[in-house]
Amino acid sequence: MGYPDNVLARDEQVVLHRHPHWKRLVGPVLILLVMTALASFGAAYVNSLDWDGNATTVVSLVILAIWVVIVGWLSLWPFLTWWSTHFVITERRVMFRHGLLTRAGIDIPLARINSVEFRHGIVDRMLRTGTLIIESASQDPLEFYDIPRVERVHALLYHEVFDTVGSEEFPN
């Protein structure tokens, strides 16, 4: 999925667009599977009882309502949050946008970036993800967590910054 063109300046090209790493979705998927199994077991158990038809229906609807609330809150919401989080590098700036109902974001012009670092532990290295740390001229370092292939993004961003600083658009 490409980043929307309406947020880009005229003649600005996207170099990289990433969502956070899929590891953020492991917990929500496990919750979805466990809650679905529990709800299915509960519904099957209720249907096996010799209850009145209305009682069985009411209890089954309660189980369904509990499943919808828990899955919506602990699985669907994190997925939509993941889907609406964007880390974008263009040839002019770094953009980070996040939020579902309330959007927030930051843009960092490449010419303002002083240093680019990355950090990842052993698990992040196995999953090829990590934290990207960008220090700009006027701000404390910004940390962007769970960036997929963080080493490649680090190298790409470093080269974009190095190429931009000497260009005619951003003279030294």
Provide DSSP, 5-19.
GGGSPTT--EEEEEP
Domain stops at, among 81, 114, 144: 81
Asked if 160 and 112 sit in the same domain, the reply is: yes
Note whether residue 53 is domain-resident.
yes
Asked if 160 and 99 sit in the same domain, the reply is: yes
Sign of CA dihedral 120, 108, 19, 100: positive
Q: Which residues contact 58 (CB under 8 A, 6 or more apart)?
A: none
The answer on pLDDT for 138 being more than 60 is: yes
> What CATH number has the domain bearing residue 160?
2.30.29.30
Q: Among candidates 43, 44, 48, which has minimal Cα distance to 60?
A: 43
Residues of the chain above pLDDT 90, percent: 77
Q: Looking at residue 137, what is its pLDDT?
A: 80
Note whether residue 144 is domain-resident.
yes
Asked if 75 and 121 sit in the same domain, the reply is: no
Asked if 74 and 36 sit in the same domain, the reply is: yes
The answer on pLDDT for 19 being more than 90 is: yes
Q: Looking at residue 10, what is its pLDDT?
A: 86
Q: Which two tokens stand for residue 3?
A: 């980043």
The answer on pLDDT for 169 being more than 80 is: no
Note whether residue 2 is domain-resident.
no
Asked if 99 and 160 sit in the same domain, the reply is: yes
The answer on pLDDT for 1 being more than 50 is: no
What CA–CA distance (Å, rounded) separates 172 from 45?
72
The answer on pLDDT for 149 being more than 70 is: yes
| 95 φ, ψ (degrees, to nearest 5) | -120, 140
Mean pLDDT of 66-71: 98
Do 30 and 24 form a contact (C-beta atoms < 8 A)?
Answer: no
Sign of CA dihedral 89, 93, 96, 97: negative
Angle (nearest 5°) at CA 148 between 96 and 87: 10
What CA–CA distance (Å, rounded) separates 172 from 167?
8
The answer on pLDDT for 148 being more than 60 is: yes
Q: Which two tokens stand for residue 102?
A: 């309330």
Asked if 96 and 76 sit in the same domain, the reply is: no
More confident residue, 151 or 164: 151
Asked if 102 and 41 sit in the same domain, the reply is: no
Highest mean pLDDT among 19-28, 47-56, 139-148: 19-28
Note whether residue 7 is domain-resident.
no
Number of domains in the chain: 2
Note whether residue 74 is domain-resident.
yes
Asked if 113 and 159 sit in the same domain, the reply is: yes
Q: Which domain holds residue 110?
A: 90-165
pLDDT digits (tens, 9 = 90+) for 79-94: 999 999 999 999 999 9
pLDDT digits (tens, 9 = 90+) for 98-124: 998 999 999 999 989 999 999 999 999
Asked if 65 and 106 sit in the same domain, the reply is: no
Note whether residue 5 is domain-resident.
no
Which CA distances in Å does 158 have to 68, 96, 110, 140, 154?
45, 17, 9, 18, 6
Note whether residue 172 is domain-resident.
no
What CA–CA distance (Å, rounded) separates 69 from 137?
45
What CA–CA distance (Å, rounded) separates 17 from 143?
17
What CA–CA distance (Å, rounded) separates 90 from 86?
12
Asked if 74 and 98 sit in the same domain, the reply is: no
